[in-house]
Structure 1
């Protein structure tokens, strides 16, 4: 029995370190791996390096500048880092005119006693930390916005307003309370509108960090913040247990704290893929049309994923056993 237990422990240790990332964001995964293993950067810096790749590459135009313009045509950014050793968090929400969202989140983590900064004040903080203000609008995001306006602002996120938001761009005013419909249908999303990068890293010593970066939902109402910078929603990490990170319909997913749910399942001894399934199924019970995915890893480097609302969910994995980044897929619930 002792030999069997030792073999299981050794097998788990051999999988570390681990980098797991939502979607086919392989360049980001490789960068985090190399920073951690070949450049001996701190695990938090490795996470920042990895997520920053997607911010610079504008992964699927749903991470970083130049994508997902809001109703006013502006791109804003959300990002978060959670340190599983200290349970400290740094996050930015609705960050304007600063390209390096995950790096600013790191400064919130390391240079303040706060958890999150938001909006223009977060941008002012970034400037104090040495970042420069510059427009996040590009010719691509401008074209996205113009085409949306030409389609009478469809789709959008308004409900219970006049004029009819399914036929007009507004401006809108609220309906009378007697006319409010509580059973409105949430717009069906797809992976091209909600491709948050979520990343989990477990190093050889068992230190776990998780992070997210996104430019949010395309055509959102200005000021909207999704799940990505919300602790327990966008990601969650506890070095004693494991970590999780999500992607998808942030407005829905943040209502359930799926990353926290998954980690708490790990705490009860549930396997990572089952923990992810449980979190996703909890959401689908109330929102059967939602789209979302989750990656989950435990402290030993075991990992899994789950998803809903699309055919399959690809995610990127790099560990000691793989020797290179591997894109794995999981079939989704519908």
Structure 2
């Protein structure tokens, strides 16, 4: 007797969730130096007065202060003008409200400013110099986010003709020049037009801390903090502060955090998709793989990482283009554990889409 297995049930059969260690629970993108953030958030939840939102803020701010691997906080990922700007968001899984800041200048405490947006305004996103003005009016101190090491790094980048960078379709050739650049005339009806909009893969990679916390009561929160892409065009905002892309949480279902090529990932709102996948009955790992697979159909050469947890603390992740890792700690665990997620390969993607007959 033959039967058809749908794509969704195929995922559910083949991709089981990692068991929950119990609550409270914290999970975030990346291991290594990022585990300091995991521990800080988890340990904060041992205190009866700490909320899920508090834990996310504490965890992400830990990375902002110690810079994790340089991709979070001050002194990292300078733009073309050698300035570090910060993006962050924090989201309440009960109200579904988020507070977000983008292109935040001269303020070190990005996730804390994002929380002020959440708690003291009816807005979602503040950006640039006016986000800085908001931060100062709420008691945050101005600070120089540039370090001596960053200044030296910028000088070396310019000596190498500003390679790599994120410019396309400009003159002079961005592969051999630092500009200033002028856009060349484009014909959107040309067969080669769309090809010219796809990144060539020469840009530097960039990471993010995205964290989800579950309080012992079951309430959830999520947050993201990053200093974005190295050598970005000044003013660029990545996926980190975009609700549903950098992170997303619905306390009735679960949460998600993302890292990778943010300019591509935000086109797919992968964390919103992953949480909706949970709502439809997928396991956390299946939900993550499906979200990554949707991106790979259009952009197979990028670097992507997704971590997903359901409301009970079952978790999983998926990635492509690199070996993605995530860290978690929950229940009575004495230490944070790191999970290594092998890249989703072309063969596995095809296998996941195959309709099996039995």
Query: TM-score, with normalisation over the residues of structure 2?
Result: 0.87
Residue 269 of structure 1: aligned partner:
281
TM-aligned CA deviation for residue 144 of structure 1: 2.1
TM-aligned CA deviation for residue 306 of structure 1: 0.5
TM-aligned CA deviation for residue 89 of structure 1: 0.5
TM-aligned CA deviation for residue 38 of structure 1: 3.2
Q: Any conservation in 2 of the 1:296–1:304 contact (CA below 8 Å)? A: yes
1:20-41 deviation digits (Å, cap 9, x = unpaired):
0100111100000111113631
Unaligned ranges ≥5, structure 1: 1-10
Q: Does the alignment pair 1:136 with 2:148?
A: no
User: What's the secondary structure of 2:195's corresponding residue?
Assistant: coil
Residue 66 of structure 2: aligned partner:
57
Query: TM-score, with normalisation over the residues of structure 1?
Result: 0.93
Q: Does the alignment pair 1:186 with 2:193?
A: no
Correspondent of 2:28 among 18, 21, 42: 21
TM-aligned CA deviation for residue 42 of structure 1: 1.8
Q: Does the alignment pair 1:100 with 2:109?
A: yes
CA distance in 2, matches of 1:32, 1:247: 19
- TM alignment of 1:36-51, pairs within 5 A: 36-38=45-47, 40-51=49-60
Residue 82 of structure 1: aligned partner:
91
TM-aligned CA deviation for residue 283 of structure 1: 0.3
Residue 319 of structure 1: aligned partner:
330
- TM alignment of 1:60-209, pairs within 5 A: 60-178=69-187, 181-184=193-196, 185-188=198-201, 193-209=205-221
TM-aligned CA deviation for residue 211 of structure 1: 0.3
Q: Any conservation in 1 of the 2:164–2:202 contact (CA below 8 Å)? A: no
Q: Any conservation in 1 of the 2:21–2:333 contact (CA below 8 Å)? A: no
TM-aligned CA deviation for residue 189 of structure 1: 6.7
Q: Any conservation in 2 of the 1:12–1:300 contact (CA below 8 Å)? A: no
1:274-319 deviation digits (Å, cap 9, x = unpaired):
0000000100110011101011000111000100101x21111101
User: What's the secondary structure of 1:59's corresponding residue?
Assistant: coil
TM-aligned CA deviation for residue 323 of structure 1: 3.0
TM-aligned CA deviation for residue 322 of structure 1: 3.1
Residue 302 of structure 2: aligned partner:
290
Q: Any conservation in 2 of the 1:78–1:216 contact (CA below 8 Å)? A: yes
CA distance in 2, matches of 1:12, 1:20: 13
User: Which 4+ residue blocks in structure 1 deviate beyond 3 angstroms?
Assistant: 11-14, 178-181
User: What's the secondary structure of 1:152's corresponding residue?
Assistant: coil
Moved more, 211-220 or 13-22: 13-22
TM-aligned CA deviation for residue 188 of structure 1: 2.5
Q: Any conservation in 1 of the 2:51–2:215 contact (CA below 8 Å)? A: no
CA distance in 2, matches of 1:204, 1:187: 46
CA distance in 1, matches of 2:120, 2:72: 24
Q: Does the alignment pair 1:227 with 2:239?
A: yes
TM-aligned CA deviation for residue 221 of structure 1: 0.1
Q: Any conservation in 1 of the 2:53–2:220 contact (CA below 8 Å)? A: no
Residue 351 of structure 2: aligned partner:
none
RMSD: 1.7
CA distance in 2, matches of 1:204, 1:303: 16
TM-aligned CA deviation for residue 177 of structure 1: 2.5
